[in-house]
Amino acid sequence: ETGVTQSPTHLIKTRGQQVTLRCSSQSGHNTVSWYQQALGQGPQFIFQYYREEENGRGNFPPRFSGLQFPNYSSELNVNALELDDSALYLCASSGTGTEDEQYFGPGTRLTVT
């Protein structure tokens, strides 16, 4: 069974640029959630996708957007990058059963300069 994978591992962008982060969900999972973890903080919920539709959103501006594909992999897009967007971005996948938990990937470390 393949776990949750994310790419790239690290990247550096300049303020104002756009970035796309990718996540492959665990086999059998149809739900993907994205979280932002700033340095020294707990992760914060960005949004969740279920069967290619957004299924809940946290307190993030519209320049944070996402997609989920038919194979349930997902992308997180951030436009007009700001310095405060520097963080570890975590992807988690889950099923929809009553005992399903979220399984997290190792994250993508984004640095905005």
Partner 1 sequence: AQSVTQLDSHVSVSEGTPVLLRCNYSSSYSPSLFWYVQHPNKGLQLLLKYTSAATLVKGINGFEAEFKKSETSFHLTKPSAHMSDAAEYFCVVSDSNFGNEKLTFGTGTRLTIIP
Site membership for partner 1, residue 74 (CB under 8 A): no
SS3 content of the chain, % helix, strand, coil (to 5): 5, 50, 45
* Under rule CB under 8 A, residue 104 binds partner 1: yes
| Binding status of residue 106 toward partner 1 by CB under 8 A | yes
Interface region with partner 1, contact rule CB under 8 A, candidates 15-23, 37-45, 60-68, 72-80: 37-45
Whether the CB-CB separation of 88 and 35 falls below 8 Å is answered with: no
Distant-in-sequence, close-in-space partners of 61: CB < 8 Å, separation ≥ 6: none
- Residue ranges in contact with partner 1 by CB under 8 A: 3-4, 31, 33, 35, 40-45, 48, 56, 58, 90, 92, 94-107
